[in-house]
Amino acid sequence: MHPTDTAAPRRATAAEIGLLAVVFIWGANFSITKATLEYVPPLAFTALRFGIAAVALIALLRVLEPGIKIARSTFIRLSVLGIVGNSLYQPAFILGLDNTSATNSAVIIGSLPGVVALLAWISRIEKLTRLMMIGIATGLAGVFLVVASNGVELGGSTTLGDLLMVAAVFCWALYTLGLRKVDPAVSPLRVTTVTTVMGTPVLIALGIPESLAIDWQAVPQFAYWGVVYASLISVVVAYYFWNTGVRRVGASRSSIYSCLIPLAALVMAWAFLKESPTPVQLIGAALVITGVLLTRRR
């Protein structure tokens, strides 16, 4: 067998390992962000988070890929994706999380694979096999069981947060699909850097009023570490792995991994908070894992 015959499968497998890392990073990020928001308001948190991430990514790019340029058309496309995936998505997500329950958030975010698959099919970016459709449906059913076992409250005081989360899902779905049209010669690091940097100015502008009103000396140390985690791990590392995964295994297959995020949060709560999962949650976890495995089959 020629070496190049096995290179693509190896790259795909490595990309899916990266997507699994994203699952645990973002699974933990829900709890860490919720705790940090008790002391740092949502827009100030997002501004600080992406400001740090943008600086870190620029530094990495200058060290690892100095002197490499991209076409103007590619830069414009990445800039638009940065606005959709960061300038629009992040405020919708963080304000949604601040105005609804973590359970509602997980249920709504869990719809991402279905939304991505539907938009990919409508726009003819990707074809969906029967197994992929079954896998997506199975994963979504599992997500619902995992999070709905804690109760889902729709309407009333959570309406604004729920609607913002729906908007966030569509923004992230468009961002994910847009990555498929980026020149494959552009490295994932450069894609991550440009989209993050171009999406950050709006986030900083939105966060300035809240940032000026904070008594930063009264913020506990763990909240600062929460910002660091959300910046360097949840953005720099996780975005790199996500962008790599989408470009190597496809938008629909990558997005199904988001079904695992509530499961990861469940596992972490069991390991660190000693919260035992219910039988319904275990059934849901099995469905999610089955869904992911089905989407991996051709």
Q: Could you write out the three-class secondary structure of 12-33? A: HHHHHHHHHHHHHHHHHHHHHH
Domain ranges of the chain: 11-296
256 pLDDT higher than 70: yes
What's 158's DSSP letter?
A: G
CB 138 within 8 A of CB 286: no
pLDDT at 45: 94
Stretch 168-183: mean pLDDT: 89
- pLDDT digits 0-9 by tens, 73-98: 999 999 999 999 999 999 998 888 77
Tell me: the pLDDT tens digits for 105-147?
766 777 777 778 778 877 777 676 777 777 777 777 776 776 5
Residue 275 has pLDDT above 50, yes or no: yes
pLDDT at 47: 94
- Average pLDDT for residues 151-170, to the nearest whole number? 74
Q: Which residue has the higher pLDDT, 259 or 96?
A: 96
- What's the confidence (pLDDT) of residue 44? 94
CB atoms closer than 10 angstroms to residue 167: 18
Residues 243 and 228: beta-carbon distance below 8 Å: no
For residue 42, pLDDT beyond 60: yes
Residue 186: closest CA among 74, 63, 79: 74
Model's pTM, two decimal places?
0.77
- pLDDT exceeds 50 at position 4: no
Residues in CB range of 285: below 8 A, 6 or more apart? 142, 146, 263, 266, 277
* Residue the block writes with tokens 């949502």: 42
The pLDDT score that the predictor gives to residue 297 is: 58
